[in-house]
Amino acid sequence: MERMNREQFYAKLGPLSREDLQKVLWTLYWRGTAAMRERIEGETTPAGKVTVKQRTASTANPQLVHLDVQQFVELARGGSYLAGDRRVRPKERTQWRSSFKRSWPKSATCCATTTPPR
């Protein structure tokens, strides 16, 4: 199935009532991925209201984030994720990308708001 362009999409949704549109949106929200739910929540949240995710992202402690990133870099440079040593659990060695992805947004937020500790 090919993707519709905007005009085709609007033409297809045009005959639907408000209740039908709500049902379609609810189905996407309920059965969709976490990213889809976050996107729908973001689009339906009023502009002035701050969501829980936005609050937790802005309250990251810069010193803790710096230590977390520093530890990750130290282990990565030492080859702990590739060669494996006792400082990194065996399961974490294969999931180092997850550790990086978890640290990246917090560090980017802290870098944008503060200067790194020395």
Q: What is the pLDDT of residues 78-103, one digit of tens each?
A: 777 777 677 777 777 677 777 777 77
Query: 63 near 55, Cβ under 8 Å?
Result: no
Q: Which of the listed ranges 41-45, 48-52, 55-59, 77-81 does the model predict with the highest average pLDDT? A: 41-45
Closest CA to 113 of 75, 43, 61: 61
Q: Which two tokens stand for residue 82?
A: 């590739």
Q: Is the pLDDT of residue 11 over 90?
A: yes
Q: Which of the listed ranges 10-24, 75-89, 95-109 does the model predict with the highest average pLDDT? A: 10-24
pTM over 0.75? The answer is no
Q: Is the pLDDT of residue 112 over 70?
A: no
Q: What is the pLDDT of residue 93?
A: 67
Q: Is the pLDDT of residue 18 over 80?
A: yes
